[in-house]
Amino acid sequence: MLKVGLTGGIGSGKSEVSRRLSAKGAMVIDADKIAREVVEPGTEGLARVVAVFGAGVLREDGALDREKLGSIVFADSEKLASLNAIVHPLVGARVAELQGRAGEGTVVVYDVPLLAENKLAPMYDVVIVVDASDEVRLARLAEMRGMREQDARARIAAQATREDRLAVADIVIVNEGSLEELDARVDEVWAELATRA
């Protein structure tokens, strides 16, 4: 099994690369997706969140109100630590379960947005960074997500710098061109990963 950490700043196209690697045969483990799954209605995770933060963090349909919870925890580092203490072990257990299903020659891609920020590079055999200039990322965030420039700049500023991400990269996928160019680069990277696996 080859463990690949995949990261990239917001608007870099990391999700596009993740989808393409999955289509090639990689087992993709998306940490953000799992973090959402472990607090879905009816889960032990959601029950623990409500026990700590109260029923006010639920929407009318019983699902977690992420924006409301975010406004609580991102304003208070102790509350954020409490949330992480609930969610991180559940995510870790789910990741271990998925990883246990991987065969010997499997390329397992861990989609980890904050890989550089959390200094997680040593956990992986290979780290892939999807890279694009801030200008390209700002344009994508405005065009594809409808973000205001000020909000997009704030999100970019809150993440690791390009330099910090590139410093942990074993493989860089520059994603500033067409989807055809991205496909060609992902083909090259997949060939390299398959060889290493």
Quick check: 75 pLDDT over 90? no
CA-closest candidate to residue 27, choices 109, 90, 143: 109
Superfamily of domain 33-104: P-loop containing nucleotide triphosphate hydrolases (3.40.50.300)
Contact status, residue 128 vs residue 171, Cβ threshold 8 Å: yes
Mean local confidence (pLDDT), 168-194: 97
- pLDDT, position 77: 86
Residue 21 has pLDDT above 90, yes or no: yes
Can you say whether the dihedral through the CA atoms of 158, 163, 111, 48 is positive or negative? negative
Q: Which tens digit of pLDDT belongs to each residue from 157-167?
A: 888 999 999 99
Question: What's the mean per-residue pLDDT of the chain?
Answer: 94
Residue 94 in this model has a pLDDT that exceeds 90: yes
The closest of 182, 191, 190 to 22, measured between CA atoms, is 190
Query: Where does CATH 3.40.50.300 sit in the chain?
Result: 1-26+106-197, 33-104
Mean pLDDT within 79-85: 92
CB 12 within 8 A of CB 134: no
Give the pLDDT score at 44: 96
Mean pLDDT of 33-40: 95
Is residue 48 predicted with pLDDT exceeding 90?
Answer: yes
Query: What is the reported pLDDT for 158?
Result: 82
Mean predicted confidence (pLDDT) in 51-76: 93
pLDDT band at 113 (very low <50, low <70, confident <90, very high): confident
DSSP-based three-state secondary structure for 131: strand
Domain 1-26+106-197 has CATH 3.40.50.300: yes
Say if residues 6 and 110 touch (Cβ distance below 8 Å).
yes
Judged against a pLDDT cut of 90, whether residue 8 lies above it is answered with yes
Cross-strand partners of 127: 5
Percent of the chain residues past pLDDT 90, beyond the cut: 78
